[in-house]
A = this chain, B = another copy of it.
């Protein structure tokens, strides 16, 4: 028997914990019985049962011959749970849900480890501890402290028990039915990753919703999430957006790439749709459950009232939908069919005169050239709303394309709601929410298509068994530049020199005027300290600059200077690598110069990325036109930048020990590109510096 069979479709269930009224065992058993699941055994020191279910003092007392207990729901005190699991193992229990709190979440890791050890000894799979239980509506199984939700197609997995409870309580009112619910708590054994992998293949689940605060293993999470996303929609609430990054970073890109931005990138890469909260989650789940997929972003808005139509159009525009005007042909067809048609443009305004047939026909006609429609009806006490709703439902059935409705408001619209619900047309209280749902659904379709294309199949490499970088401490800039060149990353021509005479000779080898940069372990912010001199043309200028730089630091801290030719009309990008605590190596590309920081124009991806993915990242930058150099005289080589981004993103998988790497700037040329400055912080060095 698989763990999920034992967990979600147990033949019988033992509830371990006090059964006195008000105690958790009592709540759990009542929920199970009231939910329609009768094969329950109560386990508690008093051998107290509820109604006519059997009760024993411990699982070891269970008589052989009775129906095997596949699942134990454990709510006994924390100190007893390990021994309860022992008994459960001996009694042949296959899975356990541990409601009891007081483990790692309150510092008691030891006791939690013990649970896992016992479970592994007997091959029991665990949900929890410190969780709110599970639900399988299709099996009438409700071992949870929370409200029993209606049955439906959405599975909901929650790291937070309370938030899970809120979702269950709200599901009925929101019109969202659940297939399964799991509050996985501390996830000592089964985590969100196991559950995602299971739900991918669960035929009773068409949409998966997930609430997370953290993930246990970023890369395995991404594998599970993208594998699921390729099959069915995955809606994610990730909290902690505002939490300060969590780790101190020293690099440019690192400090801009807070932990939440990495989650955002990771979720996007694996095709999940992130929403801001529960309300949006419900809105979106209803869309996914009831509507066919969005094939594009062209949306028609059919309304009986101008204002709300325009507000929906505004929202659609904001959300990136295309509220395009109709073609001349469509306009003609509408004009011929709908004699008193008011406004033959998008939004299509049927006015307060709009009839059932006009709603239906306008929707059917417009959907010949739009991908989806929003049907708005603002009702008044003197309009009969039911037929209008029927017109919308008829169009939905006739076209097979996504139609959402906003029939409002209050009592005058009430008669429409059951008709729309019955007809699988999700109704939202505002056109703005309609637009948001359609926009997110379109986004999902786009990402799912990308995940399904064999060329774009993402690989979330785990293997870090690579050779170490060639330094134990922090390398100097010339060391990093030389190493990058060696491993195939283009860098600009440069010479590291230790004396003024060497500097003059080095400058002589370049045709252009040169830049000089100090090399010293003491100087991190070179520009601010006067450690950079530009446009040096003559030996005198070079000599003067050299002696100025030498004076900036103590003699023993002065390694020398780096000489490089000046780049004319520079167009600059920035490329960086950081190590994220959850997701490992993360690659970033952005607009170079001071604009990067001020406009936060930086795109992250969990590394590695293919050249194609890197191209997409670059295209997503607001300032991509600046990088392309379209406003200057010479177009820049963005393909080569994508190649560099992809190559840099693979470095952490070829070489171990890179904590952060900043290429800032990367100069873009008509052909090719090259890092103009490089800073690498090895993992060792970073730790040392941080512990200071």
Chain A residues with a Cβ under 8 A of chain B? 22, 27, 132, 145-147, 158-160, 162-163, 165-167, 169-173, 211, 213, 237, 239-243, 276-279, 304-308, 310-311, 313-318, 323, 352, 378-382, 408-413, 429-433, 594-595, 598-599, 601, 622-623, 625-626, 631
Q: Check B308–A162 contact: CB distance below 8 A.
A: yes
Give 9 closest A-B pairs by Cβ, nearest first.
A162-B305, A242-B317, A160-B307, A170-B409, A163-B307, A169-B410, A241-B314, A239-B310, A169-B409
Known pairs A163-B378, A213-B307; A278 contacts B147 (CB<8 A): no
Each complex incorporates copies of this chain amounting to 2
Min CB distance A34 to B, Å, is: 11
Residues of the B chain whose Cβ atoms lie less than 8 Å from the Cβ of A22: 382
Residues of the B chain whose Cβ atoms lie less than 8 Å from the Cβ of A431: 277
Q: Check A211–B165 contact: CB distance below 8 A.
A: no
Residues of the B chain whose Cβ atoms lie less than 8 Å from the Cβ of A306: 160, 162, 213
**Which residue of B is nearest A146, CB measured?**
B380
Docked CA distance A276–B595 (Å):
30
Known pairs A169-B409, A313-B242; A276 contacts B432 (CB<8 A): yes
Min CB distance A431 to B, Å, is: 8
Residues of the B chain whose Cβ atoms lie less than 8 Å from the Cβ of A432: 276-277, 279
**Which residue of B is nearest A148, CB measured?**
B381
Docked CA distance A147–B598 (Å):
51
Min CB distance A505 to B, Å, is: 29
Q: Check B598–A169 contact: CB distance below 8 A.
A: no
Residues of the B chain whose Cβ atoms lie less than 8 Å from the Cβ of A380: 132, 145-147, 162, 165, 169
Residues of the B chain whose Cβ atoms lie less than 8 Å from the Cβ of A413: 169
Min CB distance A281 to B, Å, is: 10
Min CB distance A591 to B, Å, is: 9
Q: Check B598–A277 contact: CB distance below 8 A.
A: no
Known pairs A239-B310, A277-B432; A410 contacts B170 (CB<8 A): yes
Residues of the B chain whose Cβ atoms lie less than 8 Å from the Cβ of A316: 242
Min CB distance A132 to B, Å, is: 8
Min CB distance A260 to B, Å, is: 9
Q: Check A241–B318 contact: CB distance below 8 A.
A: yes
Residues of the B chain whose Cβ atoms lie less than 8 Å from the Cβ of A352: 162
Q: Check A172–B410 contact: CB distance below 8 A.
A: yes
Docked CA distance A431–B163 (Å):
12
Interchain Cβ contacts under 8 Å between A and B, 28 examples: A145-B380, A147-B380, A158-B307, A159-B307, A162-B305, A163-B305, A165-B379, A166-B305, A166-B378, A166-B379, A172-B410, A213-B306, A237-B311, A239-B314, A242-B314, A242-B323, A276-B314, A276-B315, A276-B432, A277-B430, A277-B431, A278-B408, A278-B409, A279-B433, A594-B625, A595-B595, A595-B599, A598-B623
Min CB distance A664 to B, Å, is: 14
**Which residue of B is nearest A309, CB measured?**
B239
Docked CA distance A311–B275 (Å):
11
Residue among A22, A379, A408, A623 having the largest count of chain B Cβ atoms under 10 Å: A408
Residues of the B chain whose Cβ atoms lie less than 8 Å from the Cβ of A147: 380-381, 410-412
